[in-house]
């Protein structure tokens, strides 16, 4: 945490909300930045009076969802045409991609809001949503709702924890990650069994 404060504290103090927006935009796009730590650290700066609460939350939220939207369109305009044009040469890999596309459109949308809380996942969900052509309104709904809750929660935690933010952050973020992984696993399992039941019902109808 001290390293984060030393690396980004002066930068945020000097450039303010513009620095926050840029850090979250680049971090979500894939640059290796500790976004959750930055959220809580930003909340800590609110508690010291260096930043204001609502502008801080709004800038962090807008930086993250703008990056997610950019990643979605990169995946949709570049990744999807590439896979459709050259993917069949991959043989089995293309088949796996098409099955994953079907799965993502059925269940993967939940990875967008829940993935915010799982380090290393949130950087990829938007790209994959674009590659698999998840409908844009669906993408907006799940992504922006998740980003809203994620930004609000961690900025508020930093604000309320104050000087204790560096003591409790790791414990809180780790437990939240485990919780949301479990939630997504439950959703995926429920969807799988529901899909299997639907296939069996279709087979019975075909045999009649």
Q: DSSP states of 94-140 as a string?
A: HHHHHHHHHHHHHTGGGHHHHHTTSTTTHHHHHHHHHHTT--HHHHH
How do the domains of the chain map onto residue ranges? 1-161, 163-207
Average pLDDT, integer, range 74-86: 77
From the list 138, 159, 149, 80, the residue with the least C-alpha distance to 115 is 149
pLDDT surpassing 80 at residue 159: yes
pLDDT surpassing 70 at residue 50: yes
From the list 20, 34, 132, the residue with the least C-alpha distance to 83 is 132
Residue 206's pLDDT is 62
Average pLDDT, integer, range 14-25: 88
Per-residue pLDDT band for 97 (boundaries 50, 70, 90) equals low
Per-residue pLDDT band for 151 (boundaries 50, 70, 90) equals very high
Distinct helix (H) and strand (E) counts, the chain: 10, 0
pLDDT surpassing 90 at residue 64: yes
């Amino acid at each position: 945490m001290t390293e984060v404060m030393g690396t980004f504290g002066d930068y945020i103090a000097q450039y303010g909300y513009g620095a926050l927006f840029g850090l979250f935009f680049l971090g979500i796009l894939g640059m290796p930045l500790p976004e959750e730590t930055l959220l809580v650290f930003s909340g800590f700066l609110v508690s010291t009076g260096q930043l204001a609460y609502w502008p801080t939350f709004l800038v962090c939220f807008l930086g993250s969802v703008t990056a997610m939207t950019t990643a979605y369109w990169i995946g949709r305009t570049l990744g999807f045409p590439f896979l459709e044009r050259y993917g069949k040469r991959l043989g089995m890999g293309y088949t796996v991609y098409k099955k994953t596309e079907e799965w993502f459109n059925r269940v993967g949308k939940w990875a967008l809001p829940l993935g915010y809380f799982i380090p290393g996942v949130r950087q990829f969900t938007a790209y994959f949503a674009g590659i698999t052509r998840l409908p844009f309104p669906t993408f907006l709904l799940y992504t922006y709702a998740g980003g809203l809750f994620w930004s609000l929660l961690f900025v508020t935690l930093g604000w309320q924890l104050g000087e204790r933010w560096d003591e409790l952050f790791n414990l809180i973020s780790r437990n939240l990650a485990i919780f949301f992984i479990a939630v997504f696993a439950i959703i995926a399992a429920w969807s799988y069994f529901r899909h299997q039941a639907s296939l069996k019902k279709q087979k019975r109808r075909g045999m009649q």
